[in-house]
C-alpha cells in the first residue's frame, strides 16, 4: 500500500481507528490486543526473518501484517519489559539495570530500583481505565513483591514469573542463580501442576482468562510472555528429534545461510556486510564429541522455538473459534537478542556446579533435568547477519524481529516490510492510539507520572511514512555500561569488557546493519556531536558509571553468590557449629589421653 501526503495519511488513520474496521468487523468495536513476547530470540530466528526454525504460526501473522526490520529493544530482558509496559526509557522506569546484573552500589538509587517503580504507569493501567480487560501470563521480571507484581500494575489477572527464567517442565528454578521459583497467581504464590510445559501452561492460562471474561463484552489486553528460549533451553523429545542432524554443519555455515535468507525475505539489504565474531570459535577445530554436543544444543533451541510457535497457533485458533481473531491486534517481538552465555564454558566451578545439579550429558540436552544453553557460536547465527548478542549494545543484542498484524483491518496490507527505525518505547503509545484510548501525558488518575517518550507507529503500519522518528532527534540507551545513541540512520555505540574495549564507534545502521564500517574517523563532526548528545542523555537520566572492573557475567555470579551461598551457610551454621564443637572436643580428648598415657 502506497499512501502519501496529509490527506492520505488521515484516511489511513481513520481506517485504523476502532470505529472503522474492515468489512468483516461489524458492529465496530475496540480491538483486542495480544502481545506475544519471546525470550532471547535472535533477529533471524523467525522464519519470516530468514530462519530455518519452523515457525509457521508467527510467519502467518507476518503474512497478515507488517514486519519491522529495524526495531530495537534493550540488551536484556527486564529493561525491555519495563519500556514495553510503560513507553518510558528504562532508567526512568526503575530498570537502569536488572536485579541479576546490578552492582550493590547502584541498587536503590533513582532509576536503579531493579523493579518497575511507581513513577511510571503501565499500558495495562491505561487500557483498563479505558474499558479493557487486562491479563498477563508468563515472565514478568519487573518485581516480586505484592506491590510490584502485575495485579498491582494494571492487570486484572496474572500468572507471572518474577525471575529471569525457570525450568520448563517442573516448578524448579535455575539452580545456578535462584534457590526457588517465584511464580505468582493473582499476586499470591502459585501452585503449578506437578508436570507441565511452560509455553503450553502460559497459553492455557491466557485462554482461560479470555474465556471467563467474554460475557462482559469488553475488549481485552492479553500479554503473553514466554520463557522460550531462555536458559534452560528445553523441549519435548518429538520436537528435538525433528531437528536431529540439522545443525551438524556448524554455526559458520548456518550464519551464512541465515544472511542469505534474511536478504531473500527482504528484511536485510542485499549487500549487507557481516563480521565473524571472535567469541564464536572455529567449528572446524572442534572434536567430534564437541560438535555433537553443540549441534544437539542448537537442535533443542530450535525445538523450543517450534513448541512456542505451536502454542501461538493454538491461541490464534481459539480466537478464530470464538470470533475474536479479525478484531485482534497481534504484536510479536523478542525482548533482546540471542543468549551467548553457556554455564558449561564459564569456568571450572560453574561447570562443576552445573554437572552437580543437572544431568549435562549430551544425550540429555534439552530434556527434563538438563541445563542446556545455545552457546556463543550458534547465538552468532541466531542474530545473523548482525554483530553481538544479548547484553551487548551491538545490533545483535538490540535489533529483534517485530510484527504487528490486525487481520480485520484493511488499512494494513499483509506481508509488507518497513525498514524505518522503531523502538520498544513506541509500542504503548501505538497500541493505545489503535485502541482509541487517550494516552497519559504526564499524569494518570490524578498523580504525576513519567511521560511516555515513544512515537506512534501507525503511519508505518499503513505505508504513509517510512519512519516516525526525526533524523535530528537523538535517542539514548545504556545498560551495564554498554551504551548507544541513535540519531537518524546513525548509531554511536560502546561496549565494556567482555563484550568490547570501551571505545566509542559510529555506524550507519541503515546501510551497514552488520556494524562492519566504523565511521568515527571518517565523520569526526558527527562522531563528536553524537557523543555530546549521549552525554546529555546520560546526565538527564541519571545514568551511573559502572564500578571499576565491572562486567555483567561477573556481577551475575557475585549476586548469585550472595543470594544463594551466604544464606545457605547461615542456614547451616547450627550444624556447622555442632560439628566444630564436636571436632574440638575430640581433639581435646585425644590430647588428654595421650598426656595421661
CA 545 to CA 531: how far, in whole Å?
A: 15
Phi and psi at residue 455, to the nearest 5°: -110, 160
Cα torsion 415, 416, 421, 422: sign: negative
CA 36 to CA 329: how far, in whole Å?
A: 11
Please, which residues have CB within 8 angstroms of residue 142's CB and are 6 or more apart in sequence?
78, 81, 82, 85, 95, 115, 116, 148, 153
Catalytic, 157? Answer no
Phi and psi at residue 266, to the nearest 5°: 90, 10
Nearest Cα neighbor of 329 from 406, 253, 262 is: 406
Q: What angle do CA 503, 496, 354 make, to 5 degrees?
A: 155
Please, which residues have CB within 8 angstroms of residue 102's CB and are 6 or more apart in sequence?
96, 112, 114, 555, 559
Phi and psi at residue 329, to the nearest 5°: -90, 125
Catalytic, 77? Answer yes
Phi and psi at residue 422, to the nearest 5°: -145, 160
CA 460 to CA 419: how far, in whole Å?
A: 9
CA 391 to CA 393: how far, in whole Å?
A: 7
Cα torsion 578, 584, 587, 593: sign: negative
Phi and psi at residue 247, to the nearest 5°: -110, 20
CB distance 329 to 406 below 8 Å: yes
20-40 burial code (b ≥16 CB/10 A, e <16): ebbeebeeeebbbbbbbbbbb
Helix crossing, 288-321 with 56-64: angle to 10°?
50
Catalytic residue among 72, 77, 91, 469: 77
Task: Determine how many CB atoms are found less than 10 A away from the CB of residue 533.
Answer: 18
| Structure letter (DSSP) for residue 399 | B
392-427 burial code (b ≥16 CB/10 A, e <16): bbbbbbbbbbbbbbbbbbbbbeeebebbbbbbbbbb
Place of cell 562522531: 527
Strands (E), 140-241: 157-161, 183-185, 188-189, 220-225
List the grid coordinates of 343. Answer: 554455564
Catalytic residue among 141, 230, 423, 469: 141
CA 174 to CA 163: how far, in whole Å?
A: 10
CA 248 to CA 293: how far, in whole Å?
A: 10
CA 484 to CA 500: how far, in whole Å?
A: 13
> Which residues have a catalytic role annotated?
77, 141
Amino acid at each position: 500500500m502506497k499512501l502519501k501526503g496529509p490527506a492520505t495519511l488521515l484516511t489511513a488513520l481513520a481506517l485504523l481507528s476502532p470505529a472503522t474496521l474492515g468489512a468483516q468487523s461489524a458492529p465496530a468495536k475496540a480491538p483486542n490486543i495480544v502481545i506475544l513476547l519471546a525470550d532471547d530470540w535472535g533477529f533471524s530466528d523467525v522464519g519470516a526473518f530468514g530462519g530455518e526454525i519452523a515457525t509457521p504460526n508467527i510467519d502467518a501473522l507476518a503474512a497478515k501484517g507488517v514486519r519491522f526490520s529495524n526495531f530495537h529493544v534493550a540488551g536484556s530482558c527486564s529493561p525491555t519489559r519495563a519500556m514495553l509496559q510503560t513507553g518510558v526509557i528504562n532508567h526512568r522506569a526503575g530498570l537502569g539495570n536488572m536485579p541479576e546484573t546490578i552492582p550493590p552500589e547502584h541498587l536503590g538509587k533513582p532509576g536503579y530500583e531493579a523493579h518497575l517503580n511507581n513513577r511510571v504507569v503501565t499500558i495495562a493501567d491505561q487500557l483498563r481505565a479505558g474499558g479493557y480487560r487486562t491479563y498477563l501470563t508468563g515472565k514478568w521480571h519487573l518485581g516480586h513483591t505484592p506491590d510490584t507484581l502485575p495485579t498491582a500494575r494494571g492487570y486484572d489477572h496474572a500468572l507471572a514469573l518474577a525471575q529471569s527464567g525457570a525450568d520448563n517442565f517442573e516448578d524448579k528454578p535455575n539452580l545456578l542463580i535462584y534457590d526457588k521459583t517465584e511464580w505468582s497467581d493473582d499476586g499470591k504464590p502459585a501452585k503449578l501442576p506437578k508436570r507441565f510445559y511452560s509455553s503450553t501452561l502460559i497459553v492455557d492460562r491466557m485462554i482461560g482468562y479470555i474465556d471467563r471474561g467474554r460475557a462482559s463484552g469488553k475488549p481485552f489486553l492479553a500479554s503473553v510472555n514466554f520463557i522460550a528460549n531462555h536458559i534452560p533451553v528445553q523441549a519435548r523429545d518429538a520436537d528435538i528429534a525433528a531437528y536431529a542432524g540439522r545443525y551438524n554443519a556448524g554455526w559458520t555455515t548456518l550464519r551464512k545461510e541465515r544472511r542469505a535468507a534474511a536478504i531473500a525475505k527482504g528484511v536485510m539489504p542485499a549487500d549487507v556486510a557481516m563480521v565473524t565474531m571472535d567469541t564464536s570459535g572455529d567449528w572446524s577445530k572442534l572434536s567430534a564429541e564437541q560438535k555433537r554436543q553443540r549441534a544437539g544444543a542448537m537442535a533443542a533451541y530450535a525445538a523450543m522455538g517450534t513448541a512456542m510457535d505451536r502454542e501461538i497457533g493454538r491461541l490464534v485458533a481459539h480466537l478464530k473459534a470464538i470470533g475474536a481473531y479479525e478484531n485482534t491486534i497481534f504484536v510479536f517481538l523478542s525482548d533482546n537478542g540471542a543468549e551467548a552465555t553457556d554455564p558449561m564454558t564459564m569456568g571450572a566451578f560453574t561447570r562443576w556446579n552445573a554437572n552437580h545439579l543437572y544431568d549435562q550429558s549430551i544425550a540429555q540436552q534439552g530434556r527434563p533435568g538438563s541445563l542446556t544453553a545455545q552457546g556463543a557460536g550458534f547465538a552468532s547465527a541466531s542474530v545473523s547477519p548482525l554483530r553481538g548478542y544479548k547484553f551487548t549494545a551491538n545490533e545483535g543484542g538490540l535489533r529483534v524481529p517485530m510484527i504487528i498484524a490486525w487481520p480485520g483491518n484493511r488499512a494494513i496490507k499483509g506481508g509488507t516490510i518497513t525498514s524505518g527505525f522503531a523502538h520498544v518505547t513506541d509500542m504503548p503509545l501505538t497500541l493505545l492510539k489503535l485502541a482509541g484510548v487517550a494516552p497519559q501525558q504526564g499524569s494518570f488518575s490524578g498523580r504525576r507520572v513519567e511521560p511516555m517518550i515513544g512515537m506512534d507507529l501507525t503511519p508505518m503500519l499503513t505505508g504513509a511514512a517510512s519512519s516516525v522518528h526525526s533524523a535530528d532527534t537523538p535517542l539514548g540507551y545504556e545498560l551495564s555500561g554498554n551504551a548507544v545513541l541513535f540519531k537518524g540512520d546513525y548509531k554511536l555505540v560502546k561496549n565494556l569488557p567482555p563484550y568490547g574495549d570501551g571505545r566509542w564507534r559510529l555506524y550507519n545502521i541503515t546501510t551497514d546493519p552488520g556494524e562492519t564500517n566504523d565511521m568515527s574517523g571518517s565523520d569526526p563532526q558527527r562522531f563528536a556531536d553524537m557523543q555530546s548528545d549521549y552525554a546529555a542523555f546520560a546526565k538527564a537520566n541519571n545514568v551511573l558509571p559502572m564500578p571499576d572492573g565491572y562486567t555483567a557475567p561477573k556481577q551475575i555470579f557475585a549476586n548469585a553468590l550472595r543470594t544463594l551461598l551466604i544464606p545457605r551457610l547461615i542456614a547451616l551454621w547450627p550444624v556447622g557449629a555442632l560439628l566444630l564443637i564436636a571436632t574440638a572436643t575430640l581433639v581435646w580428648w585425644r590430647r588428654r589421653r595421650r598426656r595421661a598415657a
